Chain A
Amino acid sequence: MKLETARHAFITGGASGIGLAIGKALAGLGVRVTIADIDRQAIDAALAGEGAAFRGAVLDVRDRAGWAAAKAEAEAAFGPVDLLFNNAGIASFGYQLADMEPEAFDRVIAVDLTGVFNGVSAFAADMRERRHGHIVNTSSMAGICGPSQAIGGSYAAAKFGVVGLSETLRAELAPFGVGVSILCPGVTVTNIAQSSMKLGGDMRLPPAREPDSAAHAAPSPFESGSASDLAARVLHGIEEDVPYIIAHGRGWWPFAEARHVALEKAFEGMR
């Protein structure tokens, strides 16, 4: 989608991190931005630094009635949404699947996968009818790579699910001129850990990761990057209507490739 035709972006998880960075980048292009977030205080803090192009919406992406209200209010204020970022997400770290509290599993899937579906459910039909729009769903390296020590099973399940859902969505909406891209960030400096813990304590860092051992930690093979660098990649990806937007990917390709090699071996083994 040509960004010069974009009028109104609706961004979940929009009050901080990746969501807010995308919002700022779009506002710089003259797009009006609704930042939707579960954290009212974070919304207020974000809006305090921004101008008239921004408005806030308190929204738990699991809440379907909340989506309907947020959409109605957003479009009454800023007109039809033509850019949707299903970006809100929480993580899970440090718990094996066999030991995971079922409610914790539910929470990660509900926010990270069902929350994405809820956004599609709210906005996609209208975009399709207007034959104009673009949807970016935030998955993760965890959605396209083979497992590494960094990734919890519930998070991988949700993020793989977002990939599957989005690929189908892309095929369904393409004939109507509505684009769909899947954002797969590597390690990005955001508040996901804190946000995840606020909702329910699903994060447990391994003992070696205590703060005072940071100086002795081995350098990570994965690059770590800023949300604003990522935002630039996202805008570029929308403009080009690419299926995948990789950001901060250095170090991850071997884990993606490992899956592809394993799949190919499985198929060869069957012939």
Chain B
Amino acid sequence: MKISDIGHAFVTGGASGIGLGAAQALEACGVRVTIADINPEQIDAAVSASGGKMRGALLDVRDREGWASAKAEAEAAFGPVDLLFNNAGICSTGYELADMDPESFDRIVGVNLYGVFNGISAFAADMRARRRGHIVNTASFVGIAAPIRGVGGSYVASKFGIVGLSEVLRMELAPHAVGVSVLCPGHIATGMGRNTARPSSDARKVPGLGATPGGKVEDLVPRLFAGIEANDFYIISHCEDDWASVQSRCVELEEAFARARAAKA
């Protein structure tokens, strides 16, 4: 689907970071954009900065009724959504799984994984019926790579989950001409740390983690757009040199299958 052919994009986590960067670039290409976010001040700032061209939707991606009304209002204003960017996410750093507050686990998985499902639940059937659309789910490099010290297991679980869910979704929607991509960014300079810290006990500073400045959203957006247009499944950004960490998992799995075959011999 060409970016310039997109009628209406719905972007969660759209008021800052990757979501806002994508939204602004889409708007500049003539796409009508709804930015959905949990933060009303950031929504207002983003909508103002667009000269009122973008519209905002206050949405907690865990809230299913909220999704239904956000969709109805968005489509009444800007027509059917043909690009869904399930991008809202919060992070967890500095807490080991054995010590993690269960409510924190629920919150991370709730926003990151359930939130993505809720977006699919709201929009995918209509895209399928119209045989038109593209869904991008934001996972992470940590959803495909070996563990990184200090990155929370709840975050990794949620991001692996998004990858698995997206793989099935792509297979299910392909016969209906709806594309699906999963965005796997490395370390990007966004507000995710700040956005997470507000609820509380999910993230604390880890020496050495995020020590180098993150990549720029402006550099990620062209990758994202190229991936949507080519209907690539994995859209990788700012971790291109980290294949070894992804490959190590593949190698371990291959060894495990080999062990299983040898056990039968």
B85 within 8 A of A: no
Query: Per-residue CB proximity of B143-185 to A under 8 Å, as 1/0?
Result: 1101101011110111111111101111111000000000000
Kindly state the separation between the CA atoms of A151 and B168 in the bound complex, as whole angstroms. Answer: 8
Q: Could you list 7 further interchain pairs (A-B, Cβ under 8 angstroms) beyond the known A98-B169, A157-B113? A: A120-B97, A125-B99, A157-B162, A160-B161, A160-B164, A167-B249, A266-B235
Look across to chain B and name the residue whose beta carbon is closest to the beta carbon of A127.
Answer: B98
B residues 88-146 touching A (CB-CB < 8 Å):
96-100, 102, 105-106, 109, 113-114, 117-118, 120-121, 124-125, 128, 142-144, 146
Q: Does the CB pair B97–A147 fall under 8 Å?
A: no
User: A121: which B residues are within 8 A, CB to CB?
Assistant: 97-98, 100, 102, 105
Partner of A102, one of B105, B118, B149: B118
Size of interface on A: residues with Cβ below 8 Å to B: 70
Determine chain A's interface SS by DSSP, over half rule. helix
* Contact status of A263 and B144, CB under 8 A, knowing A97-B120, A156-B168, A164-B156: yes
A residues 222-251 touching B (CB-CB < 8 Å):
233, 236, 242-247, 249-250
B233 within 8 A of A: yes
Q: Does the CB pair B171–A113 fall under 8 Å?
A: no
A13 within 8 A of B: no
A168 within 8 A of B: yes
Partner of B157, one of A98, A113, A246, A253: A113
* A102, A163, A270, most chain B CB atoms within 10 A: A270
Q: Which of A1-9, A49-57, A138-146, A209-217 contacts B (4 or more CB under 8 A)?
A: A138-146
Please name 13 pairs of A and B residues whose Cβ atoms are closer than 8 Å in the assembled complex, sorted by A. A98-B169, A98-B172, A117-B105, A120-B98, A124-B98, A143-B164, A153-B172, A172-B97, A236-B263, A245-B256, A256-B257, A260-B253, A266-B235
Q: Which of B52-60, B198-206, B239-247 contacts A (4 or more CB under 8 A)?
A: B239-247
Q: Does the CB pair A146–B167 fall under 8 Å?
A: yes
Kindly state the separation between the CA atoms of A163 and B64 in the bound complex, as whole angstroms. Answer: 27
Q: Does the CB pair B160–A267 fall under 8 Å?
A: no
Size of interface on B: residues with Cβ below 8 Å to A: 68
Query: Per-residue CB proximity of B188-211 to A under 8 Å, as 1/0?
Result: 000000000000000000000000
A162 within 8 A of B: yes
User: A163: which B residues are within 8 A, CB to CB?
Assistant: 160
Binding site for B on A (CB under 8 A): 64, 96-100, 102, 105-106, 109, 113-114, 117-118, 120-121, 124-125, 128, 142-144, 146-147, 151-154, 156-165, 167-173, 184, 233, 236, 242-247, 249-250, 252-253, 256-257, 259-260, 262-264, 266-267, 269-271
